[in-house]
Structure 1
Amino acid sequence: MAGTETHYILPRPEFDRPVKLLIVVAPYYKDIADDLVAGAKAEIEAVEGSWELVEVPGALEVPTAIGIADRTSNFDGYVALGCVIRGETTHYETVCNDSSRAIQLMGLQGLCIGNGILTVENRQQAVVRADPDQQNKGGGAAAAALHLIALARKWGGQTKGVGFKPPADPIRLAGKNDGSTIA
């Protein structure tokens, strides 16, 4: 049973300046969402970070809210929370796959997002995963976002000098016609 397994947990990152996260939650199952949020808040506060909370109608709206916030606000990272319990239709797969895919794509674009949208077979699985005293997936999602923020800050000022760089004087180099290649 998943509730009895133990996992390695990375030590909390340390920050030399404050972090601010947006917690986006779909409270469709309010009691489960409340536990997820409690775990996320505690994890953020443990690193002396601050947070704001916004509710959206469902898991499919969580990535949209994160995208809007990223374009219009100044958050360091995001915590995506909600719960999708399998039902009798394929709607479960649609919601699980599309919300997860959207969050993944935003992460690949550089957003620091901890994904705590639970995808479970039944309510009991959700309760165990959401409870801060059990699996604490809300806290885990916040921790993931915090670790990504720490990495982004660590590497944020570094450049590798790789990729296309326009020449200093493109007009002069464009006239070069001696068969050599321009680096």
Structure 2
Amino acid sequence: MAGSETHYALPRPSFDEAPKVLIVVAPYYRDIADNLIAGAKAEIEAAGGTAEVAEVPGALEVPTAIGMAARLCDYDAYVALGCVIRGETTHYDTVCNDSSRAIQLMGLQGLCIGNGILTVETREQAVVRADPADQDKGGGAAAAALHLLALSRKWGDRTKGVGFKTSAGDFLSSDR
């Protein structure tokens, strides 16, 4: 059983500037979502950060809300939370694959996102995974976002020249 396995977890990152994290959750299964949120908030607060929660109708809307927030707000990192339980149709596959793919694409574009959207076969599996005292997948997703943020801040301090140098020796920016 997966619940009895132990896994290595990276040490919690530390920050000179407190991270501001947006948790986007689809509370379709309210009790499961509340546990995921509790775990995520605890991890963010333990790292000295602050968290805000935004609710969306379903798992497919989670990446859309994160993309909107990335364009319109000033969050440092994002945590995607929700739960998809397999049903009798292929809708499960669509929701799982498309929400995960969208989150990964935003991550590849530079957003610091921890994906805590549970994709399970049964409600019982979801309850165990969401429980902060058990598998704490909400806390794990927050930890992932915070680790990516720590890397982003570390690597963002470095300047990497791309393109042409000006006569003053500065690289030209492509942000025009």
Q: Settle same-fold status: TM greater than 0.5.
A: yes
* Aligned position for 1:8: 8
Residue type matched to 1:160 in 2? K
Q: CA RMSD in A?
A: 1.1
Q: What runs of 5+ residues in structure 1 fail to find an aligned partner? A: 170-183
Pair member with larger Rg: 1
Residue type matched to 1:41 in 2? K
State yes or no: 1:130 paired with 2:130: yes
State yes or no: 1:29 paired with 2:29: yes
Identity of aligned residues (%): 77
Aligned residue runs from structure 1 range 3-152, under 5 A: 3-152=3-152
- 1:160 shift after superposition: 3.2
CA distance in 2, matches of 1:36, 1:96: 17
State yes or no: 1:154 paired with 2:157: no
- 1:12 shift after superposition: 0.2
Please identify runs of 4+ aligned residues in structure 1 that moved more than 2 A. 166-169
- 1:112 shift after superposition: 0.1
- 1:133 aligned counterpart, secondary structure: coil
CA deviation profile, 1:121-151 (whole Å, cap 9, x unmatched):
0001000000000000000000000000000
CA distance in 2, matches of 1:129, 1:91: 22
- 1:53 aligned counterpart, secondary structure: strand
- 1:110 aligned counterpart, secondary structure: coil
CA distance in 1, matches of 2:166, 2:111: 32
- 1:135 aligned counterpart, secondary structure: coil
CA distance in 1, matches of 2:104, 2:160: 24
- 2:125 aligned counterpart, secondary structure: helix
Q: TM-score, normalization: structure 2?
A: 0.92
How many residue pairs match? The answer is 167
- 2:14 aligned counterpart, secondary structure: coil
- 1:167 shift after superposition: 6.3
CA distance in 1, matches of 2:92, 2:125: 15
Q: What runs of 5+ residues in structure 2 fail to find an aligned partner? A: 168-176
- 1:56 shift after superposition: 0.2
